[in-house]
Structure 1
Amino acid sequence: MAYLDDLFSLSGRTALVTGGSSGIGKAIARALARAGASVVIVARREAERKAAVDELTAAGAEAGGVSGDLSTREGIRAAAEAAAAVYGEPDILVNSAGINLRPPLSELTEDVWDRTMAVNLEAPFLLGQRFGPGMAERGFGRIIHVTSQQAHRAFVQSGAYGVSKGALESLARSQAEAWSPYGVTVNTLVPGFVMTPLNVRLSSDPARVAELAARTMTGRNGLAEDFEGAAVFLASRASAYVTGQAIFVDGGLSVH
């Protein structure tokens, strides 16, 4: 057990998790905290953010939360500085916040495009620019982006959402190229269909839920907690030689 503790422990590390108040982000924040990290949740909704932080602190974890409007550059920068003020500069950055607006392409407005790119792509870019160089200077860093199957293939009106997630995976590779020589790994987690608030449009259709489950190799759709182990691995020293990769956590959906 001492070996495993040393390999996967996040004790003494600080993590910033955007979108950490619900869904996959919340599960990742919980996992990083249980592995020993001090966690700062950045989320827009105050009640959900407070509940997530309270849950972590009640379990004995070091956790804090800051309000974050990731739809504007000013909001992104303000959230970054507020988060860094809680426990100091983060060693681990998890970009899980996202919006899922998918009108048919012929009805896609510039406003929807701009909002999608701001939250799903520009926020991870600007947060990386803010914290990546510092991680490199200190010789350790982990950046984890949560992307989508639609980064790799188009279905159910991918629209701007699919474009933003595809670009996010390219961003991860560019960040890995820039900073991995200095101890900073950058990877993406690629979910399948996961029963979270972000997927409420599909999860409210039982027939569609069953159809998607049948397309996996495990025979079920994903749960937020399915990402805990992968997140701890990618955040720990165990993943020191894994960078620029897209790790599929999808029950085999992508290859079935």
Structure 2
Amino acid sequence: MTFPLFDLSGLRALVTGSSQGIGFALAEGLAAHGAEVVLNGRDRAKLDAAVNQLTAAGAKVSASDFDVTDAEAVRKGVDEIETRIGPIDILVNNAGMQFRTPLEDFPVDRWEQLLKTNVSSVFYVGQAVAKHMIGRGRGKIINIASVQSELARPGIAPYTATKGAVKNLTRGMCTDWAKHGLQVNALAPGYFKTPLNQALVDSAEFSSWLEKRTPAARWGNVDELVGAAVFLSGKASSFVNGHTLYVDGGITTSL
């Protein structure tokens, strides 16, 4: 049985930062719903391992290892995918990083690195892909935001600033590009078990706090993001634009 509103067959998705964690889970999920996926990252060995894992599961997958924080590398990388592999129908801007330290001690170089990785990459890749999508009159862009688009915690103020920017950049992309047939939305995960969060997962104190703070009373598993990503990638979301979809166990709804 097929469900056309959620069928991604014949579509191609580029997922940045997808050799592990949330990016890999989203690529795997999109592939399971019929999409061809292009994985992106800077570590070729990790990318090749991810490609082999998805290929073994029956997915149609390839890799492109351009640096999403380098505007010229992005332009060349996206153009190369469009020429060598085919049109990008779905873009998932997932590449991101975290650094935790008290704000008064936050290193300037880390601040600038966070901005480049979490915000500039969304602009660079989004713009490069949109230029192709606009010519075709269709396309889906999903920017990975966070509960920190709405909430703050000690030690991550710059990260919070970047994820707030992603939410508003998503709105701006929608405002400019919806008239060209693009749907641009953000997917905002709560606290998920990923390599990025491993130190927090391993902290009994933090995990206890999180379970009490989250209405669902647990960490999220990365496969629980797939349904939202498939929804935002397919026909089911044809009139959803500029929206931020929180997948967070209810943490943004409760004090």
TM-score scaled by structure 2?
A: 0.94
The answer to whether the 8 A contact 1:42-1:79 is kept is: no
Q: Which residue of 1 aligns with 2:222?
A: 224
Does the alignment pair 1:132 with 2:134? no
Q: Match of 1:168, SS?
A: helix
State which of 107, 110, 114 in structure 1 corresponds to 2:108. 110
The answer to whether the 8 A contact 2:68-2:125 is kept is: no
Q: Which residue of 1 aligns with 2:18?
A: 20
Out of 138-147 and 229-238, give the one that drifted further: 138-147
CA, structure 1 residues 70+133, in 2 after alignment: closer, same or farther (shift >3 Å)? closer
User: Deviation digits for residues 25-74 of structure 1, max 9, x if unmatched?
Assistant: 11110011111111000012223211211111112211011213233334
Q: Match of 1:190, SS?
A: strand
1:100 alignment partner AA: Q
Out of 205-214 and 234-243, give the one that drifted further: 205-214
CA, structure 1 residues 47+238, in 2 after alignment: closer, same or farther (shift >3 Å)? same
The answer to whether the 8 A contact 2:102-2:154 is kept is: no
The answer to whether the 8 A contact 1:190-1:248 is kept is: yes
The answer to whether the 8 A contact 2:93-2:126 is kept is: no
CA, structure 1 residues 204+77, in 2 after alignment: closer, same or farther (shift >3 Å)? farther
User: Deviation digits for residues 117-167 of structure 1, max 9, x if unmatched?
Assistant: 111111110111111132122122110011111111211322221111111
Alignment partners' CA distance in 2, 1:223 and 1:86: 34
| Percent identity over paired residues | 39
Q: Which residue of 2 aligns with 1:70?
A: 68
2:129 alignment partner AA: F
Q: Match of 1:52, SS?
A: helix
Aligned residues: 254
The answer to whether the 8 A contact 1:89-1:131 is kept is: no
Q: Which residue of 2 aligns with 1:165?
A: 163
Alignment partners' CA distance in 2, 1:117 and 1:90: 25
User: Deviation digits for residues 79-121 of structure 1, max 9, x if unmatched?
Assistant: 4344434422311000111010132211222211111111111
State which of 118, 141, 144 in structure 2 corresponds to 1:143. 141
Alignment partners' CA distance in 2, 1:78 and 1:167: 25
The answer to whether the 8 A contact 1:183-1:240 is kept is: no
Out of 147-156 and 90-99, give the one that drifted further: 147-156
Q: Which residue of 2 aligns with 1:199?
A: 197
The answer to whether the 8 A contact 1:149-1:190 is kept is: yes
Q: Which residue of 1 aligns with 2:181?
A: 183
The answer to whether the 8 A contact 1:108-1:159 is kept is: no
Alignment partners' CA distance in 2, 1:85 and 1:158: 40
Alignment partners' CA distance in 2, 1:183 and 1:71: 27
Alignment partners' CA distance in 2, 1:108 and 1:75: 28
Alignment partners' CA distance in 2, 1:49 and 1:83: 15
Q: CA RMSD in A?
A: 1.5
2:232 alignment partner AA: L
Q: Which residue of 2 aligns with 1:100?
A: 98
Stretches of structure 2 lacking an aligned partner (at least 5 in a row): none
1:169 alignment partner AA: K
Shift of 1:219: 1.8
Alignment partners' CA distance in 1, 2:117 and 2:23: 14
Out of 68-77 and 44-53, give the one that drifted further: 68-77
Out of 232-241 and 178-187, give the one that drifted further: 178-187
State which of 217, 242, 246 in structure 2 corresponds to 1:248. 246
Out of 234-243 and 98-107, give the one that drifted further: 98-107
